[in-house]
């Protein structure tokens, strides 16, 4: 996949970051949650590790998850077939509304990046003309759609298992209080395929970073995900960076196509981790992300039992629809929950 030809044009508005050498460390050990161990005698230990990781970092790797390697590879190949199409063909499934194909523009508020993507809803009853067009413009669209549907079912199962482990450790009753939001027929969950082509040679020649820095083309700017839980899988090209609690130290996440990387959104007890993606100078990066969300009518508030006696909530109660509207009206780097903070 390193030989993909970039199909994005007009990159002049995309941010080129002069990154001081050494600010993106690769020496951070990413916590690992082993779902096979969670099914056995080590379940309690896995639960403790999961919750502690969500409190400290908000980002972890899931291994032994049960999703077939063949399925992951098949969907990646289908995504490759879509993104290799001429730009004019792909644009028949856009512009995003927000579903469908997008190129460089990330949302409606001025954010740009060296990325093209396809955003789909996971519910079959949510009909998007853009999504339907995406499955029509490749020769075997039915195979593409079948791979997406099968993959989404599988990773939703992983997300639900993680949420149930979390609920057990936090003593949330019933055990499926969180996961049932994703399994609900009205769940507002999304699925996104991202393609970051190699940064163009002509642009690399133009970049003249300050001494002690290296220039990198920004694929997807610094942000937190606006969903309850995100399940990410990428090919073997690097580029993902995650920010530590100090807000200044970034570390590079080594790619692992056989595993999933997960982050969560909470009321403040867990961290919603900031992350970003840089384009590789020679290799394409492909990522696929399941964004688990509750029904639009779901009221979001701290669950009973999670608040200490006398502890105040950080945010006003709100519905998922209200939160989603606020999130999509914000810039990537904005605080997604700022509108709902208590004064």
- Catalytically active residues, by annotation: 285
Question: What is the 3-class SS of the chain, one letter each residue?
Answer: CCCCCCCCCCCCCCCEEEEECCCEECCCCCCEEEHHHHCCCCHHHHHHHHHHHHHHCCEEEEECCCCCHHHHHHHHHHHHHHHCCCHHHHHHHCCCCCCEEEEEEECCCCEEEEEEEEEEECCCCCCCHHHHHHHHCCCCHHHHHHHHHHHHHHHHHHHHHHHHHHHHHCCCCCCCCCHHHHHCCCECCEEEEEEECCCCHHHHHHCCCCCCEEEEEEEEEEECCCCCEEEEEECCCCCEEEECCCCCCEEECCCCCCCEEEEECCCCCCCCCCEEEECCCCCCEEEEEEEECCECCCEECCCCCCCCCCCCCCECCEEHHHHHHHHHCCCCCCCCCHHHECC
Tokens 């502890």 -> residue? 311
Angle (CA) 88-94-95 rounded to 5° is: 110
Half-sphere exposure of 126 (CA within 13 A, CB side): 20
For residues 324 and 239, give the distance between their C-alpha atoms in angstroms, rounded to a whole number: 27
Token pair listed for 138: 């490749």
Q: Are 289 and 192 in contact (CB under 8 A)?
A: yes
């Amino acid at each position: 996949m390193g030989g993909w030809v970039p199909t994005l044009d007009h990159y002049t508005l995309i941010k080129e970051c002069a990154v001081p050498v050494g600010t993106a460390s690769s020496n951070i050990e990413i916590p690992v949650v082993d779902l096979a161990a969670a099914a056995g005698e080590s379940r309690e230990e896995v639960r403790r590790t999961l919750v502690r990781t969500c409190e400290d970092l908000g980002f972890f790797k899931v291994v032994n998850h049960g999703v077939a390697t063949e399925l992951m590879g098949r969907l990646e190949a289908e995504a490759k077939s879509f993104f290799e199409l001429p730009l004019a063909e792909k644009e028949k499934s856009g512009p995003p509304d927000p579903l469908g194909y997008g190129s460089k523009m990330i949302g409606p508020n001025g954010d740009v990046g060296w990325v093209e993507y396809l955003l789909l809803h996971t519910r079959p009853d949510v009909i998007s003309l853009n999504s339907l067009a995406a499955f029509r413009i490749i020769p075997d669209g039915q195979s593409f759609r079948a791979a997406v549907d099968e993959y989404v079912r599988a990773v939703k199962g992983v997300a639900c298992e993680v949420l149930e482990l979390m609920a057990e450790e936090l003593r949330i009753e019933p055990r499926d209080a969180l996961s049932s939001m994703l399994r609900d027929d009205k769940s507002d969950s999304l699925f996104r395929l991202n393609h970051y082509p190699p940064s163009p040679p002509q642009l690399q020649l133009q970049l003249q970073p300050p001494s002690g820095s290296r220039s990198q083309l920004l694929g997807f700017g610094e942000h937190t995900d606006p969903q309850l839980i995100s399940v990410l899988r990428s090919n073997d090209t690097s580029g993902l960076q995650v920010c530590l609690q100090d807000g200044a130290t970034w570390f590079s996440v080594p790619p692992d196509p056989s595993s999933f990387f997960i982050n969560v959104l909470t009321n403040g007890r867990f961290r919603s981790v900031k992350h970003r993606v840089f384009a590789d100078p020679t290799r394409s990066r492909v990522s696929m992300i399941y964004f688990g969300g509750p029904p639009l009518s779901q009221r979001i508030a701290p669950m009973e039992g999670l608040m200490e006696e006398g502890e105040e909530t950080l945010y006003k109660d709100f519905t998922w629809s209200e939160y989603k509207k606020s999130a999509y009206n914000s810039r990537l780097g904005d605080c997604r929950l700022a509108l709902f903070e208590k004064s």
